[in-house]
Structure 1
Amino acid sequence: MKALRLTLESFRFAWQALKANLLRTILSLLGVTVGIFAIIAVFTVVDSLEKNIRDSMNFVGDKVIYVQKWPWAFGGDYPWWKYFNRPVPTVREFREMQRTLNPASHNGIAIFAATGGNTLKAGSNSLSDCAIQGVSYEYRRVSEVPVAEGRYFTEQEMKSARNVAIIGATIAQNLFPGRSALGQEFKAKGQRYTVIGVMEREGKKLLDTPSNDTNCYLPFTSFAKIFQLSTNGMGGATPTIAIKGRDDDPGLLNLEAEIQGTVRVIRGLKPREDDNFALNRPELLANAITQLFSIIGIAGAVIGSFAMLVGGFGIANIMFVSVKERTNIIGIQKSLGAKNYFILFQFLFEAVFLCLLGGASGILLVYLITLIPQDGLALFMSGARISLGLVVSVVIGVLAGIIPAILAANLDPVIAIRAK
């Protein structure tokens, strides 16, 4: 109870001192506000940039292993020219993997292929530069297909190569303006397709990566009727086999080993022969992004800390002036029985309170900026960054106020009372 009363009394003295010198308080707040604003703004931009890039890369999926001809990262002693001689994954290999892989080791296996720059037509309406992607039935287990209206493909539609399609929101809006796209027909490569589903709108992405808004999904068997599948990865639509891992397989190490062994058996590779395929994983991209933004974040924090340092020196200077002005009052308080720790806390709380006000103002400014609509980069401020700003404010307040507070607490009451 005594500690609580002491704390409240110290805050009351601090608040009275800040109100008594309002202009000086505001000028001191500006230094801390600018410092916290600089630090939190840098971290907010870095966090937002990282999130937008990760969202732009979400088409590669999570916990997925891709069987492809080309690796996403080159390295090691493998001769570059051998990559050209590698075969591409085929439908036969996909069927063999479906039959051979242990169902308990994965959550789904799919094959897909895509082409870009296609024009879709419906009556007098058309839309160019669309992506057409052929997918197998289990593709929705490997990668998200966010159907907002309608439904996904059935197994019968896949097996019978039905001319049905799931289209993106931009395609639906341009081909069928002012009406529902479900059940409507459009043309692609001279073939008519019936719309059975429309996907959710994704909007503009930070990176120029594939977007579902201009994407058209077809059954893989229907896709193969109008597009030539590549046999060497150099021309036509190149198939990719994707396997979704399980949560109980940390790092997907077991699944990766099983896939590697299965593909080697299917392709008849001898024990001493190198793999003639690549097992690509989104973690490579995720790790690269994490490392990049860790460096950017550290660099931004160092730059922002200089602004915070200036604010801290400003607070320390104000506290020294405050101790000088209130020396006589300190002497009177000590002569009336005030303990050294009461005087110490009184000035320390004043410095911390001042920094918290400045820090909260800086955080508020950053938050207001995040509310401004942004087309290219959507800004957001996380609760962790708000907490960081407040913690930094408290730390700066303690560091800036501890020496003046100690000096005030150690004043001799007789000498302090005589001070002018």
Structure 2
Amino acid sequence: MKLTNTIKISLAGLKANKLRSTLTILGIVIGITAIILVVSIGNGAQSLILGEIQAMGSKTLNVQPGAPAKGFQEGMMNVFRISLLDKDLEALQKKNNVPHLANIIPLVYSSDSINYQNQSYTGTILGSSAGIFDFYDIVPESGYLFGEDDVKAKSDTCVIGATVAEKLFGQSDPLGEKIRFRNKNLKIVGVLPAKGASISFSYDKAIICPYTTVKEYVLGQKHYNEFIIEVDEEKNIDATVADIEITLRNSHGITNPEKDDFNVMTQKDLMQTVGTVTTVMTLFLAMVAAISLLVGGVGIMNVMFISVTERTKEIGLRKALGATNDDILKQFLFEAIYLTMVGGILGIFFGTVFSFVASIGLSQALSSNWGFSFPYNAAIWGILTSVLIGIVFGIYPAMSASKKNPIDALRYE
């Protein structure tokens, strides 16, 4: 029998049970939809983070506590390392140690309740040098920004983000008022305009103070969470990384580089790390979503067995009229493949729609340009996987149908 005739017979069989066919492919549709959605959001997040890293400039280095992480758990533990101290900051600021260093911004941060009278808001306190304002092009909407004199004097001045101002003061003017963070009073001298949320850090939800004030007066700690370093020229990046490593090893008394308790990251390193992390997380979530594909495959197999049983007489009649075992196998196998392929196409359609809607929602929620990213590779693999599921879970019922004895099949009640 010609393949076209086999296909026509298969489609006729599916049309005769439209409701069953529709319900059968739901698992495939949901699985492919979830995969497309997860991969699309993952790609969007990766693009947004990489964009933020690129915006920092290619001449930027990050010095973080803890050795370069060799695994997720070790990377998480680095957050709690105490290895960047005042002596390290002073050593890095010496021109003969790091000659190509143009600027260094020490950072100290923590999250907790920010309080004003009876109002409370959970946000982040960021201790920094005044250089952070130029580095991120931060200008006040009202008031002024603290300067290096405030840093040296360990002033209790602070600049607050737009969200903090709105939550604590509403329409009132916050300038000159005092807020509390961990029972420490801080005087507001400036308010920042709304910048929109960021994947890495939201200035709208933060209060920024001199790092000397935050480190000693507010948090009562001796260590820094991070150093941001600007290099004078991009061509001097590698040399500066080497100078920083030598300087910190001397400061920490380290002779074996494998014992480093700090990590110097270039823009390229940060982008590679972000790319790796987001890819692994996206793949993991996609694999979880793919479980519904297996469930859908089992559903396909069960329905195909039911269909074979219900159409036993049809199989017997077709064989009596000359259909071969191969014709019957192709008929039922094509039905399974057709169902899963349609499920895959519908899944890609719904996944694309939901991804587009999600990108709009995330852009509004974060006040940032969360671009829609259609995952072409995921879509192609989705179709191929759907067809493969149809073959794997449809072959056994199809073989069962093809092996039926025509005489016994015609007698079946």
Q: Provide TM-score, normalisation by structure 2.
A: 0.57
Letter in 1 for 2:263: L
Tell me, in whole angstroms, the C-alpha distance in 2 between the residues paired with 1:11 and 1:288.
Answer: 45
Q: Provide the residue aligned with 2:197 in structure 1.
A: 202
Q: Would the alpha carbon gap of residues 97 and 198 (structure 1) be closer, same or farther in structure 2, given more than 3 Å must change?
A: farther
- Asked whether 1:133 is paired with 2:121, we answer no
Tell me, in whole angstroms, the C-alpha distance in 2 between the residues paired with 1:254 and 1:214.
Answer: 37
Shift of 1:353: 1.8
Tell me, in whole angstroms, the C-alpha distance in 1 between the residues paired with 2:207 and 2:123.
Answer: 7
Tell me, in whole angstroms, the C-alpha distance in 2 between the residues paired with 1:300 and 1:171.
Answer: 37
The C-alpha deviation readout for 1:46-88, integer Å capped at 9, x for no partner, is: 7699899999x99x96897643555586999xxxxxx879844
Tell me, in whole angstroms, the C-alpha distance in 2 between the residues paired with 1:8 and 1:91.
Answer: 77
The C-alpha deviation readout for 1:204-228, integer Å capped at 9, x for no partner, is: x9xxx9754430234x4xx53xx16
Shift of 1:394: 1.6
Written as runs of structure 1 = structure 2, the 5 A alignment for 1:21-420 is 21-22=16-17, 25-34=18-27, 37=30, 39-40=31-32, 66-67=62-63, 87-88=85-86, 91-96=89-94, 100=98, 102=100, 109-114=104-109, 116-117=111-112, 119=114, 127=120, 129-136=122-129, 139=132, 150=141, 158-159=147-148, 161=150, 167-178=160-171, 185-187=176-178, 189=185, 191-195=187-191, 197-202=192-197, 211-218=202-209, 220=210, 223-224=211-212, 227=213, 229-230=215-216, 235=221, 238=224, 240-243=226-229, 256-264=241-249, 267=251, 269=253, 271=255, 277-279=261-263, 301=290, 303-304=291-292, 306-317=294-305, 320-321=308-309, 322=311, 325=314, 328=317, 347-359=332-344, 383=375, 387-402=380-395
Shift of 1:310: 1.8
Q: Provide TM-score, normalisation by structure 1.
A: 0.57
Letter in 2 for 1:173: E
Shift of 1:111: 2.0
The C-alpha deviation readout for 1:81-129, integer Å capped at 9, x for no partner, is: xx879844555334237982546xxx974322235547465xx886555
Q: Provide the residue aligned with 1:79 in structure 2.
A: none
The C-alpha deviation readout for 1:145-187, integer Å capped at 9, x for no partner, is: 5969859x99xx6445499865333212134524898xx5543
Tell me, in whole angstroms, the C-alpha distance in 1 between the residues paired with 2:385 and 2:202.
Answer: 40
Shift of 1:18: 1.9
Can you give the 5+ residue segments of structure 2 that lack an aligned partner in the other structure?
A: 75-80, 180-184, 363-371
Q: Would the alpha carbon gap of residues 392 and 212 (structure 1) be closer, same or farther in structure 2, given more than 3 Å must change?
A: same
Q: Would the alpha carbon gap of residues 311 and 332 (structure 1) be closer, same or farther in structure 2, given more than 3 Å must change?
A: same
**Number of positions where the alignment pairs a residue of Structure 1 with one of Structure 2:** 365
Shift of 1:260: 0.6
Identity of aligned residues (%): 18
Q: Would the alpha carbon gap of residues 148 and 172 (structure 1) be closer, same or farther in structure 2, given more than 3 Å must change?
A: farther
Letter in 1 for 2:108: A
Give the secondary structure class of the aligned counterpart of 2:106. strand
Letter in 1 for 2:160: I
Can you give the 5+ residue segments of structure 1 that lack an aligned partner in the other structure?
A: 1-5, 77-82, 375-379
Task: Give the root-mean-square deviation of aligned CA atoms.
Answer: 6.2
